[in-house]
Every structure is written in structure tokens, then in C-alpha cells.
Amino acid sequence: MLCDAVAVFPEAVEDALPGWGDEHQRWTSLAMPGNVAADGGWWLHFHSYLVTSAAGAVLVDTGIGPAGGEAAEWLGTAGRLPGLLETAGVRADEIDTVVLTHIHTDHTGWNLAEELPRFCNATYVVQQAELEHVRDVAKYERLIKPLADAGQLRAVDGETTLDGGLRLLPTPGHTPGHQCVVTERAVLGGDVLVHPAQARWPELTYVYEQDPAVAVTSRHDVLALAAATGVPIAAAHPHTALTGAAMPLPAVSPGSGVCPPHKL
């Protein structure tokens, strides 16, 4: 897990999650204190995942990106992914595959360097439905077109297994072409849920879900998959991995803006 940034969500949690109520607040404070800021706001983490195996190095999502980028400006903080990769001992040119769970600016922020693919030897993998969804949207064209121009963009259509065995699972709703990455140890969930309470209450919708009803179905599906396979869901924004309704109270310190150890 590589935490590109931590920021308090710029909107009130009850605005971001329509249906939010006292029971959600109470549960989150008890079960997920790492996501509750001192003023009652919502700590949002921005996690990328590095998966290494004999088949190569896969990076899932590229965070909010550098200062001056759209997501960094929105959140008032800058990402630090390149430094984290360096600390992990992985150079940008050693990444073989970048999987984008979806094309939002807080998941694609480090796609490029100097308007060229930052991960210069990587194939960037995205669902075809996602590409169609963002076509002609200028801010996304900026982040995606250079990948295609360099011959480094691969569109997949539906469930796909990558070399090395990583499974890409379409989980639409947040966006039409949203996908999760299923490994032996975790479901890398992107924004299939954005707040930990959505693992406890999958029907709790997020205001920026493109199709809320479909998003609820995808959340149920991913929770069922995680339960059936006994692995946690490691989504992009909760501070820690989640195991759904039956999850025990985790041993984490109250939200300090610093990630507790992320044990999968």
C-alpha cells in the first residue's frame, strides 16, 4: 500500500453520503477512528497498491499527483507517490503494468511526467467502458491521450486475467467502467466504496456515484466475494483494509493524518 496523500474531504460527510445519520457516525467513530478528523470531518486517504510477483510489477492507480494538478488543488495537498516507490526500491521504469480502477483525477494523478507516460515501460490497463465514458472530457483527455499516443494504453472489455494471475473485475456504478483488482491477498477496490461505513452499509450511496443503484450492487458483489474468499477489501480511500459487516474493531490510533500500518 502506497499512501499518496491524506486530506480531509472538502465537503461535509452528510452531504457526500446522502442518508448519513447518527448510527453511521457512531459506528465509524468506534470501528474506524482513523477516518474521523478532530472536527468530525472525514479523513480521506489516497492509496495506490504495488503488487509484485515473478510476472512483474503492477501498480494499481496513480494517486492525486503533484502540486498544481487538479486533484491536488481540490484537496489542498500534493501527492508523494514517486518518493514512496523509490523508498520501496522500485523505479518508475520497472513498473510493467499500471491498472487504473477508473479515470478520476485522484486515481490518475501520476500517470504522466512532462506529458509523457511516467511509467515509461508500462502498459496502462483500463476498461473500454471507462474510456468511452470520459471521451471528449478535456481534463481526462489530458491524462489518458498521451498514454494512447505512446502505444501504452490497453483497453480491456469485461473480466480479464492479466499475465501473473491478477484478475480485473468490472464493478460499475461509481463510474461505468470502474474495475477492481483481485489478488490472492486482497480485493483492491478502487472507489467501489469510498467510506468505510459503506462496507457495513453497502446501500449507503456516495453523491458522486454515476449510477448509485448499480454502485450498490457492485458493493454487495465485492463484499460477497471478499467474504467467500476470506480476503479484505483494500479500497483507495479508507485508511485501512475492510472486511465488511462482520469486521472486528481494528486496533488503530485516532485519525492523526498518518496512516497506521496497513496489514493485509
Summarize as ranges the residues that interact with Zn ion (CB under 5 A). Answer: 104, 106, 191
Of 104 and 118, CB closest to Zn ion: 104
Residue 58 to residue 61: CA distance in whole angstroms: 10
CB of 220 to Zn ion, least distance (A): 19
Closest CA to 185 of 223, 222, 226: 226
Judged by beta carbon, residue 104 or residue 154, the one nearer Zn ion is: 104
Considering the complex, state which of residue 11 and residue 184 has its C-beta at the smaller distance from Zn ion: 11
45 vs 118, beta carbon nearer Zn ion? 45
**56: number of Cβ within 10 Å:** 16
Could you tell me the three cell numbers for 247? 469486521
Considering the complex, what minimum distance in angstroms separates the CB of residue 134 from Zn ion? 12
Least distance from Zn ion to the Cβ atom of residue 133, Å:
12
Q: By C-beta, is 175 or 183 nearer to Zn ion?
A: 175
What is the SS3 assignment for 156? strand
Q: Indicate the residue among 85 and 134 with the shorter CB distance to Zn ion.
A: 134
Shortest Cβ 89–Zn ion spacing (Å): 27
Task: State the nearest-atom distance from the C-beta of 107 to Zn ion, in Å.
Answer: 6
Other Cβ atoms closer than 10 A to 125:
22
Cβ atoms of 1 and 204 within 8 Å: the answer is: no
Residue-wise DSSP of 70-138: HHHHHHTS---HHHHHHHTT--GGG--EEE-SS--TTTSTTSEETTEESSTTPEEEEEHHHHHHHTT-H
Q: Which of 262, 209, 251, 218 is nearest to 33 (CA)?
A: 251
Nearest-approach distance from CB 263 to Zn ion, in angstroms: 22
Q: Closer CB to Zn ion, residue 58 or residue 64?
A: 64
Q: Which residue is nearest to Zn ion (CB)?
A: 104
As measured in angstroms, the least distance from the Cβ of 90 to Zn ion is 23
* Contact between residue 20 and residue 207 where contact means Cβ atoms under 8 Å apart: no
Distance separating alpha carbons of residues 50 and 89, to the nearest angstrom:
11
